[in-house]
Amino acid sequence: MPDLRFHWSMSSAGVEFKAARARSQHSAVPDMDAHLDFCRHADNNQIDSLLTAVGFHRPDPIAMAAALGVQTSHTRFLVAVRSGIMSPLLFTQQVNTVAALTKGRISLNVVAGHTPAEQRSYGDFLTHDDRYRRTDEFMTICKALWAGEVVTFEGEFYHLEKAAINLPFIAEDRSCPEIYFGGSSDQAYALAAKHADCLLTLPEPPEEMAPRIRPLLEADTEVGLLVSILARPTRDQAVNDAYAVLEKVGNRAKKTHRDFSKHSDSVAFTGQIRKAEEHSNHWLTPTLWNGAVPFMGAPAIALVGSYTEVAETIMSYKQAGVTQFLFMGWPDLAEMNRFGSHVLPLVREMEPNG
Amino acid sequence: MTASFHWRLAEGGENLQRAMRGLRDDPAKALPDLAAQIHFCREAERVGIDALLVDINYAKPAPMVLALALAPHTRRLRFMVAHRPGLMSPTLFVQQVNSFSALAEGRICLNMVVGHSPDEQAYYGDFLEHDPRYARMEEFLEICRGLWETAEPVDYSGRYLQVEGARLNTPFTSPKGRKPQIFLGGNSKQAQQAATAYADCWLRFGEHPQRLASAIAPVLKSGTAVGLRLAVIARPTRAEALDAAARLVDLSRVGDKSEHEHLFVNGSDSVSVQQVYKMAADEWLTPNLWTGAVRTYGPPNVALLGTPDEIAQQIIDFESIGISHFILSGWPKLAEMVYFGEEVLPRVRRLEKKLDPAFPREISHA
């Protein structure tokens, strides 16, 4: 089994509790210095790659990866992408250009979009299930282009004739970027098994996840967790800090995410938020806490505990078959530094026996 | 009252000191050559070039990404990023442009083109014909304009493009204004109409100034600037310039470049490509405007040819009919640009001072 790999979200570099505010109120003017500083810390903490997310409330993730990639030398970028808003050929051309400029330090997080109104603002009027079928076509075309084929494709959503590009995907060890898929719906699982190297999904207790992800693992697709993390020297400190986060972001944040849910057709995101709103016990396991989900959205489901507890929890997910983690923290930079200094060494120690 | 001079970015894989010989499909050109291209950018900035054109086709790196990688290595230089509507959601396009502006001090302007080869458009999944491609260009730019100019979410339902409630949190930021300068190319009626309605500058290939004057008059009158895409062969003496031109034509006979270019023209539905190719039957449009490179190197290569004094005067002749932007290229790429910047440009600036200042040729950055 490969060593566990850890990624971090870069979405809120330089901003605290960004997720507690409505997306329309996010500033999307990137602070280059804060982002470069974040990249340096990620390198120091042995973070595998940094997520540049996608949405109307953010700068364009490919532009971010290109701009940061040429000013760093190790950091890898996990670039979020939605199908249906760019020609597959131009998309592949942009990705390959970033790769050529950064020695292949780009991988992709393919997502279907979660909010119909936002999709429409990009000119995409498809429903949830159609978006997945289109993503299937999109990835089929992109992967054929990466394989160096001249692609003629006539599908339900895409039609290309003799498509080819001259710039290949250039990296030390790959001829196509690593593909991550996001989602929790049946369609997401099926599509990940078909196209992805790794499905990024929200956590459930490890023993519940194991049977659900087994078909993916059998299809040679890894499974990763999209999860927040809050680790402290002791469990008491961790729990206190977790509750303190809720006080800081306040109840207004709750309404923000109820509003989000009302307009979203994402199975993963709305399901999480509903679950967290309906149950009064927010501890799904002693270290898996969804108390912040109503305030900061589905990815705020968190691993909470002492350094040792969090490391052990990570190992219990490893036993369930999970091999990658995409973390978020409150705030990201401080949490990433704690993880790198205190949790990761424990994990690396436990790994040979786990 | 001065014209702006832009240059075409040298591609990777081209020996920057030598004449271009390779085919358009040369795989080496697909690779960025960052070290050489950064040097090219810095030299462009040093010699007074305003923007470098980063063009688009399937055989090259993606221009938006390449330009973004080059921008941090310069301070004033702008990048004229080429784009073809139909390949990307207009909202996503504006998001990329605006992100670029935030990451590189607003140093981006746009070269909007509709594409010239139906075959190549099909690679990208675009099957529209020439005229509808221009109609879609107008829809595309209407949505872009909404995103740049209005605070309200943009609703648009056109024949080719629809968006609903489009808004972005990343604004276009530049010391020069709230939206990028738009250059729109093409000789057809549709191109002229789109440029008049949506562009800051209409781009054309080189022609005799007198013939050009009547063609551009209505566009200038509407307040849209006009620019020319030209090649440059400047040498200390006219004999040397003619010699360089002769060698260029000789080089083109090596390999199947000429044959290839012929296929390119036949495969194109661009009005301007066809027009310029026909015009090139007449080798000298003026004593300093040479079409000899067009048939082998393509329509952008109507060339300013001669001594620095001659070329400066030819440029002034264009300026005096209202041309205010020049997008240039040359062989060898780097040396020609540096020679132009050091020898021709100062002469142009001196002559510009004597031009009739009443003529409107400032272009707005709105």
Give CA–CA dist A148/A162, Å, rounded: 12
Cβ contacts from A onto B, under 8 A = 173
Residue A171's identity, in one-letter code, is A
Our CA-based measurement puts residue A113 at a distance from the nearest CA of chain B, in whole angstroms, of 14
Considering only CB atoms, which chain A residues are within 8 Å of B36? none
What string of pLDDT tens digits covers the 366 residues of chain B? 699 999 999 987 654 433 444 444 566 678 889 999 999 999 999 999 999 999 998 989 999 999 999 999 999 999 999 999 989 999 999 999 999 999 999 999 999 998 888 899 999 999 999 999 999 999 999 999 999 999 899 999 999 999 999 999 999 999 988 999 999 998 899 999 999 999 999 999 999 999 999 999 999 999 999 999 999 999 999 999 999 999 888 766 554 455 555 666 667 777 777 777 677 667 899 999 999 888 888 888 899 999 999 999 999 999 999 999 999 999 889 999 999 999 999 999 999 998 866 554 443 343
Shortest CB distance from B169 goes to which of A57, A63, A123?
A: A57
Our CA-based measurement puts residue A263 at a distance from the nearest CA of chain B, in whole angstroms, of 14
CATH level 2 (architecture), domain A5-353: Alpha-Beta Barrel (3.20)
Low-confidence ranges of chain A (pLDDT < 70): 1-2, 14-21, 23-28
| pLDDT for residue A19 | 66
Cβ–Cβ below 8 Å for B69 and A66: yes
Cβ–Cβ below 8 Å for B169 and A58: yes
Q: Nearest Cα to B188, choosing from B262, B137, B264, B258?
A: B137
A283: how many CB neighbours lie within 10 A of its CB? 13
- B228-254 CB burial, b ≥16 within 10 A, e <16: bbbbbbbbeeeeebbebbeebeebbee
The kind and range of the H/E element at B167 are none
| pLDDT for residue B274 | 72
Shortest CB distance from B91 goes to which of A122, A161, A162?
A: A122
Our CA-based measurement puts residue A142 at a distance from the nearest CA of chain B, in whole angstroms, of 12
| pLDDT for residue B212 | 94
| pLDDT for residue A248 | 86
| pLDDT for residue B362 | 43
Give CA–CA dist A192/A111, Å, rounded: 11
| pLDDT for residue B210 | 92
DSSP letter string over A86-155? B-HHHHHHHHHHHHHHHTT-EEEEEE--S-HHHHHHTT----HHHHHHHHHHHHHHHHHHHTTPPEEEE-
| pLDDT for residue B20 | 42
Considering only CB atoms, which chain B residues are within 8 Å of A101? 32, 34, 65-66, 69
Our CA-based measurement puts residue A266 at a distance from the nearest CA of chain B, in whole angstroms, of 19
A62: how many CB neighbours lie within 10 A of its CB? 30
Fold of B4-352: TIM Barrel (3.20.20)
| pLDDT for residue B202 | 97
Summarised one tens digit per residue, pLDDT across range A218-234 is 999 999 999 999 999 99
Q: What is the ipTM of this complex?
A: 0.91
Residue B175, classed as helix, strand or coil, is coil
Shortest CB distance from A166 goes to which of B27, B124, B127?
A: B27
